[in-house]
Amino acid sequence: MKATAKAHTNIALIKYWGKRNEELILPTNSSLSITLDLFYTETTVEFDERLTTDIFYLNGEEKGTDETAKVSRFLNHVRKLTGDTRFAIVSSQNHVPTAAGFASSASGYAALAAASSKALGLELDGKELSKLARRGSGSACRSIYGGFVEWKKGVKEDGSDSYAVPILDQKAWNLSILSVMIESKQKKILSREGMKRTVQTSPFYDGWLKATEQELRIAKKAIEKRDFEMLGETLEKNAFKMHATTLGADPPFFYWQPATLEIIDCVQHLRSQGLLAYVTIDAGPNVKVICQPDDERKVFQTLNEIDSVKEIFVCHPGPGISYL
Amino acid sequence: MKATAKAHTNIALIKYWGKRNEELILPTNSSLSITLDLFYTETTVEFDERLTTDIFYLNGEEKGTDETAKVSRFLNHVRKLTGDTRFAIVSSQNHVPTAAGFASSASGYAALAAASSKALGLELDGKELSKLARRGSGSACRSIYGGFVEWKKGVKEDGSDSYAVPILDQKAWNLSILSVMIESKQKKILSREGMKRTVQTSPFYDGWLKATEQELRIAKKAIEKRDFEMLGETLEKNAFKMHATTLGADPPFFYWQPATLEIIDCVQHLRSQGLLAYVTIDAGPNVKVICQPDDERKVFQTLNEIDSVKEIFVCHPGPGISYL
């Protein structure tokens, strides 16, 4: 009735941007990510018949109604699989500092899916675990696996074919991912809200879907051939396209800040000097820079000289789910 | 055989962004502009049978082969209308400082069209003059008229229905247009090249065309109703959409610089305080801010406090072509 699991966060190279079903969290396009080594969540779940409600501890602190309700809603999906009615104590240690520029929902729900299903005696394979994690947060379905991972969007109404698959082990191709944190105000538009508004109102959304499908194919080809330039160009183009769609939304919005453009400019300048480094940007102002390990030091030093850069976290491909 | 004409520059509120015919300069979408009072070109053209070539003076200085060849190509269109074969001396005074953030091609070709056709004894009406100016530079066709002007894209292959029409006289609705100049490096991608790459490669171009058609209708409705908020929201959305299309081009590019985002942020902040001001941005990093005359001083002072702002030019609706 008790289990502990550990899951790492991931960074999308081909972005998940838009849902076709809000309730089941089904995406409009397939996406591609790298699971990272540096940031993770460890979660213990214990079901107990004596409990009269779910209890949620985050980093040792008992959380209030709203946050616990989210965890409960997720546990309901697991309980439904076994017909169980017991409540649980969930205890999470989140090693994803907010200041690191990664959402903790991906590693959080992946670890919760793994720990809670194991605690109830379910032996879910990666595919089933991925589908379960997806119900908590879309990108969590990719954190089940290590290395390069594809989330296949699926076409079925019930979401049974929408899950992640591993496409290259973390050890098979080492890359450097630098998370570049800038001085910034609070994010104004949450990604959930931003993608919804974009799907509903942006005249660029059809173009996004068509282009992303093609870019995913190219990115997978690049991974297969270990062609870093091809991968880098593709992921950077994909990120720019995602951000373009938000400028077409009604009302329009954008996640970029002045320092975001400074970092893009710096990376493109490095590239004009022959160093292969590429940017990707999620639903916020921070920039992630992808390069090859041999160039990591040079990229770090160059970015670190920019005044508006607050901190840089250097990550590499990390592992999938593990049980402790 | 000699005539002098004066034409003012204009700023697009609904952007001209993409050609369907490069040679005839026919646009893929209709556009809407305000002719401005502050910046203009004065051009004298004199045809003379003793000349063996065209000669071009700009601001009192005789120009070289490349620039003169452009003027000659334009004069060929006029000569063709009359069957004339004489060469001309063209003398232009350009009161559009490069540092003011406006292309001088609009006022330049509008003045050249008016002066050269008059010098050859042609009495072209506004429509014919607009079509002629268009052959030099697309946006020049709008500078024939003062105030608010629409360039109707037309549908014919030969361009005979692609010309500007006046939609509201300069005196009928006064607005303030602040051209905000930032410290910036040389423009990397010329607008001609940028729009071409966008039309050919951006998956967002279809969305742009559809949205722009609708936004033009709304903008014209707003002008008819003198609804500044409706006009402002529409022109800002249209500018963001134009810039979004470039992020989808292959390779992607963008005209914004860090200070561009600072100014957008400042204007949106003013708006959150209830002051109606809106931005538009052409193929470069500078921003134009549109507001009502009563708010002009407050907007000027607020923008002027931004460190990266180098200079601000305050314009108002100006007149169309005149002969001197």
Over residues A233-249, the mean pLDDT reads 98
Last residue of a domain, one of B172, B189, B220: B172
Instruction: Kindly indicate the confidence band of residue A186, based on its pLDDT and cuts at 50, 70 and 90.
Output: low
Query: Does residue A98 share a domain with residue A8?
Result: yes
Instruction: Kindly indicate the confidence band of residue A183, based on its pLDDT and cuts at 50, 70 and 90.
Output: confident
- Chains A, B: CB contacts within 8 A come to 85
Query: Which pLDDT does position B188 carry in this prediction?
Result: 76
Subunit contact B203:A208, Cβ cutoff 8 A: yes
- Give, in order, the Cα–Cα distances in Å from A299 to each of A235, A276, B250: 18, 10, 25
Give A211-222 pLDDT, tens digit per residue. 999 999 999 999
- Return left, alpha or beta for A60; rule: phi > 0 is left, psi -120 to 50 is alpha, else beta: left
Give the closest residue to B314 by CA, choosing from B324, B323, B299: B299
Query: Does residue B243 share a domain with residue B278?
Result: yes
Give A86-144 pLDDT, tens digit per residue. 999 999 999 988 777 787 899 999 999 999 999 999 999 999 999 999 999 999 999 99
- With respect to residue B19, please indicate whether it lies within any of the assigned structural domains: yes
Over residues A175-201, the mean pLDDT reads 89
Instruction: Kindly indicate the confidence band of residue B187, based on its pLDDT and cuts at 50, 70 and 90.
Output: low
Question: Is the model's pLDDT at A273 over the cut of 80?
Answer: yes
Query: Does residue B188 share a domain with residue B136?
Result: no
Return the percentage of chain B with pLDDT > 70, whole number: 99
- With respect to residue B198, please indicate whether it lies within any of the assigned structural domains: yes
Query: Which pLDDT does position A100 carry in this prediction?
Result: 72
Over residues B98-109, the mean pLDDT reads 85
Query: Which pLDDT does position B101 carry in this prediction?
Result: 73
Q: What is the CATH number of the domain that holds A111?
A: 3.30.230.10
Give A-chain residues touching B243 at CB under 8 angstroms.
247
Query: Which pLDDT does position B278 carry in this prediction?
Result: 98
The three-class DSSP label of residue B86 is: coil
- With respect to residue B324, please indicate whether it lies within any of the assigned structural domains: no
**Cβ(A281)–Cβ(A2) below 8 Å:** no
Is A250 part of the contact surface with chain B (CB cutoff 8 Å)? yes
- With respect to residue B323, please indicate whether it lies within any of the assigned structural domains: no
- With respect to residue B99, please indicate whether it lies within any of the assigned structural domains: yes
- With respect to residue A16, please indicate whether it lies within any of the assigned structural domains: yes
Query: Does residue B292 share a domain with residue B251?
Result: yes
Polymer length in residues for chain B: 324
Give B132-174 pLDDT, tens digit per residue. 999 999 999 999 999 999 999 999 999 999 999 999 999 999 9
- With respect to residue A322, please indicate whether it lies within any of the assigned structural domains: no
- In B153-297, the DSSP E strands lie at 163-168, 176-182, 277-280, 287-291
Among A240, A265, A271, A309, the strongest candidate for a mutation testing the B interface, having the largest count of B CBs within 10 A, is A240
Query: Does residue A148 share a domain with residue A87?
Result: yes
How many Cβ atoms from other residues are within 10 Å of residue A102's Cβ? 26
Query: Does residue B9 share a domain with residue B95?
Result: yes
Query: Which pLDDT does position B296 carry in this prediction?
Result: 98
Q: What is the CATH number of the domain that holds B221?
A: 3.30.70.890
The contacts of residue B100 (CB under 8 Å, 6+ apart) are: B38, B39, B179, B181, B313
Query: Does residue B112 share a domain with residue B215?
Result: no
Give B-chain residues touching A256 at CB under 8 angstroms.
261
- With respect to residue A320, please indicate whether it lies within any of the assigned structural domains: no
Nearest to B237 among A252, A254, A256 (CB): A252
Is A241 part of the contact surface with chain B (CB cutoff 8 Å)? yes
Query: Does residue A13 share a domain with residue A130?
Result: yes
Subunit contact B261:A256, Cβ cutoff 8 A: yes
Instruction: Kindly indicate the confidence band of residue B98, based on its pLDDT and cuts at 50, 70 and 90.
Output: confident
- The domain tally of chain B equals 2
Subunit contact B241:A211, Cβ cutoff 8 A: no
Q: How far is B172 from chain A (nearest CA, A)?
A: 29
Cβ burial of A133 (10 Å; 0-12, 13-18, 19+) is buried
Query: Does residue A214 share a domain with residue A149?
Result: no
Query: Does residue B282 share a domain with residue B145?
Result: no
Whole-number average pLDDT of chain A: 96
Subunit contact A207:B210, Cβ cutoff 8 A: no
Last residue of a domain, one of A107, A142, A171: A171
Query: Does residue A192 share a domain with residue A294?
Result: yes
Instruction: Kindly indicate the confidence band of residue A188, based on its pLDDT and cuts at 50, 70 and 90.
Output: confident
- In A49-114, the DSSP E strands lie at 55-58, 61-62, 87-95
Strand partners of residue A129: none
**Secondary structure tally for chain B: helices H, strands E:** 8, 14
Last residue of a domain, one of A115, A137, A171: A171
Which domain, by its residues, includes B215? 176-315
Give B197-227 pLDDT, tens digit per residue. 999 999 999 999 999 999 999 999 999 999 9
Q: Which amino acid is at B98?
A: T
Give A46-67 pLDDT, tens digit per residue. 999 999 999 999 999 999 999 9
Give B34-72 pLDDT, tens digit per residue. 999 999 999 999 999 999 999 999 999 999 999 999 999
Query: Does residue A236 share a domain with residue A99?
Result: no
Give B111-130 pLDDT, tens digit per residue. 999 999 999 999 999 999 99
Of the ranges A24-38, A230-244, B181-195, B239-253, which one carries the lowest mean pLDDT score?
A: B181-195
Over residues A151-168, the mean pLDDT reads 98
Give B268-324 pLDDT, tens digit per residue. 999 999 999 999 999 999 999 999 999 999 999 999 999 999 999 999 999 999 999
